[in-house]
């Protein structure tokens, strides 16, 4: 009897254990349809899952809008999934969804809609921002997320799991504008910003974003501080509390993303926030605020491409100020690194109004440089030549490679008068 009871208990425990093992959840963070032609489209979706190893199949379901007759397109499993279709009907509206098969169940998740072009049709051009003639939606070979996002540094994430293949400390996230803003080709969403986030420092390492006037009006500041849904929550701030003499410093500023309320909310993700001294740095007349004001004047019709970064090692500037590493209480954590230096890496055309993609410009048509500001810089400091270094010098300092998608970027030289 005891043996039978023991067997029954073992069976029950096994059943409970098995039930825990097969618990699974998933959701779509965002999806988009790009590169739309008369008979083709590229679909992409970012899928959060509790256990990617448990996924048996996943992909897209596509149907003519209004029809329940969906075609199934399985794709390679991953956090970011993609599909190219080239057998659609011209001038037809389609609905797509995302399916996931895992733990013996099926998930049918919301996607979006798109409409193919009529024969001979072309996407409506956008007159000013980001004059990029070719969509090029395919990811490059593991080095940048998109070959036509000219602000991006190199990121090694060939398997597209959102984590650097060579450095497990780095997590990546790429955000399209959540308010429906269109890209320059009118065939997909405009991008908001990309981020490299450190699990060790619990802080952004860099944020890359295009700057253009088209992003800067239409809504108001939201103050919608929250965690980034594309970065693991346990490595981010857990609240909007501050400490260590710092306030919440935006990498990409709120005023730089006012095109819609939804898009402004995204720049309040904690992945875009770093601790900055509240009395001398990130305040009216502060060294960083003065630099931000100066860079506002460098935005141009051709688009200004920016990378805003944090540095965490000991840093001494040309004025003799030294920033030293420190862990502080910030954002509900006690292990956040306070950056020792902040920088802006900048790229644009010299004239600012060529109407050309920077990838198609010669080196003589382009200018790029970096501003580096020690976190210990005094209040009232304004940008000057001693704050500037070449992009190549910045690469040697930080270890990152900037503007990889712009082959003619003159990264070894700069003319300070182009920027001051």
Domains with residue ranges and CATH for the chain: 26-115 (2.60.40.10), 170-418 (3.40.570.10)
Please give the Cα distance from 75 to 73 (Å, whole number).
6
pLDDT score recorded for residue 17: 44
pLDDT score recorded for residue 223: 98
The HSE-up count of residue 71 (CA atoms within 13 Å, CB side) is 10
pLDDT score recorded for residue 35: 77
pLDDT score recorded for residue 78: 83
φ, ψ of residue 97 to 5 degrees: the values are: -130, 170
Question: For the range 154-161, what are the long-range contacts, defined as Cβ-Cβ under 8 Å and sequence gap of 24 or more?
Answer: 154/400, 154/401, 154/404, 155/196, 159/78, 160/78, 160/79, 160/80, 161/52, 161/78, 161/79, 161/80
CA 241 centroid distance within chain:
24
What dihedral do alpha carbons 53, 55, 57, 60 form, nearest 10°? -110
pLDDT score recorded for residue 118: 87
Kindly list the averaged pLDDT for each block of 10 residues, start to end, along the chain of length 420.
Answer: 44 44 79 84 86 91 94 89 91 95 91 86 43 39 79 91 94 94 76 98 99 96 97 97 98 98 98 99 98 98 98 99 98 98 99 94 98 99 98 98 97 98
pLDDT score recorded for residue 145: 86
Please give the Cα distance from 206 to 395 (Å, whole number).
13
Angle at 14 between CA 10 and CA 17, to 5 degrees: 140
């Amino acid at each position: 009897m005891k043996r039978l009871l023991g067997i029954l208990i073992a069976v029950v425990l096994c059943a409970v254990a098995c039930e825990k093992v097969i618990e699974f959840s998933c959701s779509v963070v965002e999806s988009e349809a790009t590169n739309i032609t008369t008979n083709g489209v590229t679909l992409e979706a970012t899928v959060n899952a509790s256990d990617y190893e448990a996924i048996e199949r996943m992909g897209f379901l596509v149907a003519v809008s209004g029809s329940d007759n969906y075609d199934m397109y399985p794709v390679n499993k991953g956090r970011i999934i993609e599909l190219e279709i080239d057998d659609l009907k011209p001038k037809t509206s389609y609905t797509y969804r995302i399916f996931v098969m895992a733990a013996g169940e099926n998930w049918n998740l919301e996607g979006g809609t798109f409409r193919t072009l009529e024969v001979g049709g072309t996407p409506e051009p956008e007159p000013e921002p980001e004059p990029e003639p070719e969509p090029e939606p395919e990811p490059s070979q593991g080095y940048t997320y998109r070959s036509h996002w000219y602000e991006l540094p190199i990121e090694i994430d060939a398997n597209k799991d959102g984590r650097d293949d060579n450095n497990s400390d780095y997590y990546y996230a790429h955000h399209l504008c959540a308010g429906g803003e269109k890209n320059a080709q009118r065939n997909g969403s405009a991008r908001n910003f990309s981020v490299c986030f450190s699990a060790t420092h619990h802080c952004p390492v860099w944020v890359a974003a295009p700057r253009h006037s088209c992003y800067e009006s239409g809504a108001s500041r939201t103050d919608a501080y929250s965690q980034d849904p594309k970065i693991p929550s346990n490595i981010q701030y857990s609240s909007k509390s501050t400490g260590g003499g710092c306030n919440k410093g935006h990498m990409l500023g709120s005023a730089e993303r006012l095109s819609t309320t939804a898009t402004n909310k995204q720049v309040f993700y904690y992945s875009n926030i770093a601790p900055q001294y509240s009395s001398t740095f990130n305040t009216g007349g502060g060294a960083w605020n003065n630099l931000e004001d100066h860079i506002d004047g460098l935005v141009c019709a051709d688009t200004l491409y920016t990378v805003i970064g944090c540095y965490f090692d000991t840093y001494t500037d040309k004025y003799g100020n030294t920033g030293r590493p420190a862990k502080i209480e910030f954002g509900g954590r006690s292990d956040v690194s306070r950056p020792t230096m902040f920088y802006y890496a900048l790229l644009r055309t010299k004239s600012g109004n060529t109407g050309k993609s920077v990838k198609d410009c010669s080196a003589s048509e382009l200018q790029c440089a970096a501003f580096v500001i020690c976190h210990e810089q005094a209040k009232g400091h304004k940008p000057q030549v001693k704050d500037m270094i070449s992009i190549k010098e910045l690469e040697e300092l930080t270890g990152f490679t900037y503007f990889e998608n712009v082959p003619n970027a003159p990264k070894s030289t700069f003319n300070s008068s182009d920027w001051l």
